[in-house]
């Protein structure tokens, strides 16, 4: 009987392995052999899903964006203020998964800066996030342009994430959450 393979899940799993390597070692240290070792798949299996390093990075970006979107969809939007906070908190490295994603995102965001491949997906993900945050803000912040405030809040969350990644003891989880909460209380 032939083995049934869930190709979508395998792509996500390979993408996760790439994220782990990029987060821990950087894009420049990414190799097919390392991906094979981390993912548990042979280099032959990996070749079936990606031709080269850039394809592997695309799998990682797809995995990260997919998992982020699933988490956003799970957020209860019945309380708009709480939903806004929860959406922005998804950008913060508050647990191991989000820390890996934040580190990998920071390293991947400029990897393909000419606009092709994964950088395009990263930019589109940010645009979609800004639209989502702006739509939440439109319900609660009548005095300001929601797209401007959305950009400000996402930039704040991104900055807090970077500060935490650089200095987790000087900018601990409690401080980044308190800073985000203080800004949200002004809305």
* Domain extents in the chain: 7-185
Return the pLDDT at 159. Answer: 96
Structure confidence at residue 62 (pLDDT): 87
Residue 37: is its pLDDT beyond 90? Answer: yes
User: Is residue 73 helix, strand or coil?
Assistant: helix
Whether the pLDDT of residue 44 is over 80: the answer is yes
How confident is the model at residue 112, as a pLDDT?
Answer: 63
Task: Examine the pLDDT at 21 and tell me if it is beyond 90.
Answer: yes
- Cβ neighbors of 10 (< 8 A, separation 6 or more) are 41, 45, 49
Mean of all residue pLDDT scores within the chain: 90
Query: CA 20 → CA 35, 98, 99, 104, 174, distances in Å?
Result: 9, 11, 10, 8, 25
pLDDT tens-place string over residues 58-117: 899 889 888 999 999 999 999 999 999 999 999 999 999 999 999 998 888 777 655 556
pLDDT of residue 54: 85
Report DSSP letters for 2-53, one per residue: PPP--HHHHHHHHHHHHHHHHHHH-GGG--HHHHHHHH---HHHHHHH-SSH
> What phi and psi values does residue 161 have, to the nearest 5 degrees?
-60, -45
- Inter-residue contact 112 to 119 (CB < 8 Å): yes
CATH number of 7-185: 1.10.357.10
Residue 57 CA to residue 113 CA, distance in Å, equals 13
Q: What is the pTM of this model?
A: 0.86
């Amino acid at each position: 009987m032939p083995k049934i393979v869930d190709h979508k899940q395998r792509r996500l799993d390979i993408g996760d392995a790439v994220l782990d390597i990029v987060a821990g070692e950087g894009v420049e240290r990414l190799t097919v052999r390392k991906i094979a070792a981390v993912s548990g798949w042979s280099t032959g299996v990996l070749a079936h899903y990606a031709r080269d390093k850039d394809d592997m990075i695309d799998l990682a970006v797809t995995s990260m964006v997919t998992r982020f979107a699933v988490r956003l969809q799970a957020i209860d939007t019945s309380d708009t203020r709480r939903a806004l906070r929860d959406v922005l908190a998804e950008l913060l490295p508050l647990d191991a998964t989000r820390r890996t994603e934040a580190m990998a995102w920071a390293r991947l965001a400029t990897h393909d800066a000419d606009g092709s491949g994964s950088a395009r997906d990263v930019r589109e993900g940010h645009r979609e996030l800004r639209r989502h945050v702006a739509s939440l803000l439109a319900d609660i912040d009548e005095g300001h342009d929601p797209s401007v405030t959305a950009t400000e809040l996402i930039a704040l969350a991104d900055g807090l994430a970077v500060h935490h990644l650089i200095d987790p003891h000087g900018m601990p989880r409690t401080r980044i959450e308190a800073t985000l909460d203080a800004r949200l209380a002004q809305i």
